């Protein structure tokens, strides 16, 4: 690693680790913001949502700085929109992937094949709260009833087998079933779907679906990392559905394992976020034929 400048993996990991450590006492994770459901970060110019690790970076930044919107853009993009980033404002560091082809020998006959190699590059964006001269468009939120109806329709279309009853929420692979406490057991009706989103993310990783195996990647920390994927998947999905993401205090014991994995492997949070995004994309594609690619 360059001793003068941290690489993008380490910078992002350090930011997420800091956010987790600061919120550990109250289980205020960077993907579970207080005061309602988190705004899904979008680009002010393209109107497309940020994805994967960039969602976490922007949520963590918004939580730390107290930003109230999820609209972001580069300095140049804000200028093109007629806005001006205020002097002294600090940017958020997000990531984009650049691909290049690398030739590799195919065998003894030295035939060569081309392999696509991804490389992470960073760039900098500012929140609309840091910009003067930009007219924010206020969105009219869906009512609670509309969000419940939308969420019901989403999970119904997934055709996930759900059994209500008992006092625990969990996915049981042997029965390929998600078990949930009764709807009325939740302090807020919408929180039911936050927990259901978590367990459905587990459901998506079954062998006959995405075949997600975190133990192969993380060994003894694999179970905890699968819980982190489900946490992130639930947060991403709830944001798409306009639902609040209820803190799961019962997952607090995993925090030390998450921190250990992230500190030992600067790419761990990238893997977890990518797997969570893959799960949400898979669920969306199960409902609709295609998901629009985000910038």
Using one digit for the tens of pLDDT, what is the confidence trace for 66-80? Answer: 898 899 999 999 999
Q: pLDDT per residue over 252-271, tens digit each?
A: 778 888 999 999 999 999 99
> What are the residue ranges in the chain where pLDDT is below 50?
1-4, 34-37, 291-295
In eight-state DSSP terms, residue 206 is: S
Report if residue 1 sits inside a domain: no
Report if residue 2 sits inside a domain: no
Report if residue 171 sits inside a domain: yes
Answer yes or no: are the C-beta atoms of 67 and 129 closer than 8 Å: yes
Range of the domain at 265: 8-287
The per-residue pLDDT for 74 is 97
Continuous segment of H or E residues that includes residue 171: strand 170-172
Instruction: Please tell me the total count of domains within the chain.
Output: 1
pTM equals 0.85
Report if residue 295 sits inside a domain: no
Q: Of 244, 254, 248, give the one whose Cα is nearest residue 34.
A: 244
Report if residue 294 sits inside a domain: no
CB within 8 A of 266, min separation 6: which ones? 7, 9, 10, 13
The per-residue pLDDT for 244 is 80
Report if residue 3 sits inside a domain: no
The per-residue pLDDT for 233 is 95
Q: Tabulate helix, strand, coil % of the chain (nearest 5).
A: 45, 15, 35
């Amino acid at each position: 690693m360059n001793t003068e400048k941290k690489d993008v993996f380490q910078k992002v990991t350090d930011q997420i680790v800091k956010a987790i450590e600061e919120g550990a006492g109250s289980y205020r994770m960077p993907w579970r913001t207080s005061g309602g459901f988190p705004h899904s970060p979008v680009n002010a110019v393209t109107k497309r949502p940020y994805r994967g690790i960039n969602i976490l970076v922007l949520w963590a930044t918004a939580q730390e700085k107290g930003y109230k919107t999820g609209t972001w853009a580069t300095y140049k993009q804000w200028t093109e929109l007629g806005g001006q980033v205020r002097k002294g404002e600090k940017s958020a560091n997000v990531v984009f992937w650049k691909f290049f082809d690398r030739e590799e020998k195919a065998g003894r006959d030295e035939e060569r094949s081309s392999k696509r190699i991804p490389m992470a590059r960073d760039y900098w964006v500012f929140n609309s709260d840091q910009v003067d001269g930009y007219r924010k468009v206020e969105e009219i939120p869906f009512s609670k009833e509309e969000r419940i109806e939308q969420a019901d329709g989403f999970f119904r279309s997934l055709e996930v087998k759900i059994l209500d009853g008992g006092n625990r929420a969990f996915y049981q692979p042997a029965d390929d079933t998600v078990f949930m406490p009764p709807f009325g057991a939740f302090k807020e009706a919408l929180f039911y779907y936050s927990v259901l989103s978590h367990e459905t993310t587990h459901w998506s990783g079954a062998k006959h679906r995405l075949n997600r195996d975190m133990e192969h990647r993380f060994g003894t920390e694999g179970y905890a990392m699968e819980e982190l994927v489900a946490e992130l998947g639930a947060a991403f999905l709830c944001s798409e559905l306009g639902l609040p993401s209820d803190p799961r205090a019962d997952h607090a014991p995993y925090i030390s394992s998450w921190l250990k994995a992230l500190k030992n492997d600067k790419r761990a949070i990238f893997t977890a976020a990518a797997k969570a995004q893959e799960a949400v994309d898979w669920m969306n594609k199960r409902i609709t034929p295609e998901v629009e690619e985000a910038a």
